[in-house]
Amino acid sequence: MENWDDSLLDQLEELNEIVRKAEEESAAAEIFSENGEHALCKAVLWSMEQAVVVLSLLYDESGEAEDCICEKVNPAFERVSGISEERAVGSKGSEIFGEKIPYFDIFVRVAETKSKVRFKAHYPKIGKYFDMWVFSPEWGRIALVFSDVTDSVLAEREQQLDRRFLDEILDSMNVWLMIFDNRWNPILWNKAAERLSGYCSEEALSPGSRVLEKLFPEELYREYVLEEMKKAAHRPEGVPGELETEVVVNGGRTRTIAWTCSRWKSEEENEEGLIAAGRDLTEMRALEGALRESERRYSSIFLNSNMVMLIIDPEEYRIIDCNDAACRFYGYSREELAGICLFDINMTPPEEFKRHLLRIRNGERSSFVFHHRRKDGVLRKVDVQASPVLYDGKALVFPLVREMAEGEQKHEDGFSR
């Protein structure tokens, strides 16, 4: 009898009225005979799994209700409430619960208006929650019918806390997270999704929001994206994969999002759908584009400059790249010069040259005068301006080489004389 309705209340009122009349007429033995209708009613009332208690209001001299007294309880009362029949029957509410009787204002209103009400009651003193019906068979008296719902209330609260905790985790993620049912209706939209898309969760999750049509306005592209998301979600476990898409966010701006997709399924509710977690690559792709353009420009400058330029590895003492001017100056092809040992062209003793490289890497000195040997064996006196550079995480040296004129002198201050 967990699900109650008004018809049950009416029956309980009738049962209570029968009991009351029987008591007034002092004919309980006759009315509650084994074969009588009243006996059946009382048996039903007293065999209920729900607790039943009948209370009478007590009034002060001014006619204000100030307390209540327990007239009777059914056998289930002690099991449900945790209060013994001996403790309850004949006791005032204030004697059991103290000066402030829980929900006393509701009891008074029901008793004086002969109304009925149902609510979820919490009694901290006994540590329980009850699903409670209150009705009045006559003015000044009330009947309470209630069941213990403590476990379900606590479980619901724990579930709410778990959901709130999960929501906080999802909202703290710096990942665009959206979850769809199997009809592509969004059922979750986290804070990152709001921030990146420009659509709040209420707007995205509202029925008929058509948020996917807003994000992917071109129909063919939208169909392609959704199909690829489904394919990505159905990849075998352990097989990584991302789907990179262009998304039109609120305001018309385009973002580049990399989606990782997976399936979700609820066995209990027999539902399934798709989870899409997106990383915003917009700035990264813009930086990559700018870097490619920068590399293109500097590559053009490096390759086409008339100044001899080299890139050397100071740990392996080899040239790893050079420009066309260097090839012309040294007489090697680019393939030959890239990879050649520095000691094959620099006439400085190896140990001394290694010390010079160390000074360049440490930023202690950048200007040197060396004698370099060309492929044909001719020695050239050169002025070298070198600086350390970082390329692909590796420390390299970038020298600019200039052939010195006949009689030109270079001093330690770096100026020619």
Domain boundaries of the chain, sorted by first residue: 6-149, 173-285, 305-403
> What's the angle, vertex CA 57, arms to CA 53 and CA 62, rounded to 5?
175
- Write down the pLDDT at residue 289: 81
- Helices assigned H by DSSP within 268-378: 282-304, 324-330, 334-337, 350-361
Q: Which CATH number fits domain 305-403: 3.30.930.10, 3.40.190.10, 3.30.450.20, 3.40.140.10?
A: 3.30.450.20
Q: What is the CA radius of gyration of the chain?
A: 44
**How is residue 152 written in tokens?**
């379900």
- Measured CA to CA, the distance from residue 3 to residue 1 in angstroms comes to 6
- What per-residue confidence (pLDDT) applies to 407? 76
For 282-330, the pLDDT digits (tens) are: 988 888 787 777 777 777 888 888 899 999 999 999 999 999 999 999 9
Half-sphere exposure of 12 (CA within 13 A, CB side): 26
- Is the CB of residue 161 less than 8 Å from the CB of residue 141? no
Give the helix/strand (H/E) hosting 368. strand 367-373
Distance from C-alpha of 308 to C-alpha of 329, rounded to nearest angstrom: 7
Categorise residue 260: left if φ over 0, alpha if ψ from -120 to 50, beta otherwise.
beta
The reply to whether 305-403 shares the fold of 6-149 is yes
pLDDT score, position 318? 94
289 to 76, 254, 282, 296, 357: CA distances (angstroms): 76, 15, 11, 10, 34
On whether the CB atoms of residues 169 and 45 are closer than 8 A, the answer is no
Q: Which two tokens stand for residue 289?
A: 């584009």
How far apart CA 294 and CA 287 sit, in angstroms, is: 10
Place of tokens 């009948």: 54
Half-sphere exposure of 183 (CA within 13 A, CB side): 5
Q: What is the pLDDT of residues 388-403, one digit of tens each?
A: 888 777 889 999 999 9
**Those residues with Cβ within 8 angstroms of residue 114's Cβ, 6 or more apart along the chain or in another chain:** 136, 138, 139
Predicted local distance difference test score (pLDDT) of residue 6: 52
Q: Comparing C-alpha atoms, which of 79, 49, 67 is closest to residue 145?
A: 49
DSSP conformational letter for 33: -
Residue 184 CA, distance from chain mean position: 20
DSSP state of 3: S
Write the burial class of residue 279 (CB in 10 Å: 0-12 exposed, 13-18 middle, 19+ buried): middle
pLDDT at 136: 87
- pLDDT score, position 416: 39
Q: Tell me the backbone φ, ψ of residue 132, rounded to 5 degrees.
A: -120, 130
Are β-strands 308-313 and 186-189 bridged in parallel, bridged antiparallel, or unpaired? Answer: unpaired
* Cβ-Cβ contacts under 8 Å for 237 (sequence gap 6 or more): none
Q: What residues have CB less than 8 Å from 108, skipping those under 6 apart?
A: 57, 65
Topology (CATH) of 6-149: Beta-Lactamase (3.30.450)
| Dihedral angle of Cα 230, 233, 234, 239, to the nearest 10 degrees | 140
CATH of 173-285, one of 1.20.1560.10, 3.40.50.20, 3.30.450.20, 2.40.10.10: 3.30.450.20
Distance between first and last Cα of the chain? 109
pTM (global) more than 0.85: no
- Listing from the earlier edge strand, what are the strands of the sheet with 367-373? 318-322, 308-313, 394-403, 379-391, 367-373
Residues of the chain with pLDDT under 70: 1-46, 161-171, 237-241, 267-269, 409-417
> What is the model's pLDDT at position 25?
44
- Report DSSP letters for 38-99, one per residue: HHHHHHHHHH-SSEEEEEEEEE-TTS-EEEEEEEEE-THHHHHHS--HHHHTT-BHHHHH-S
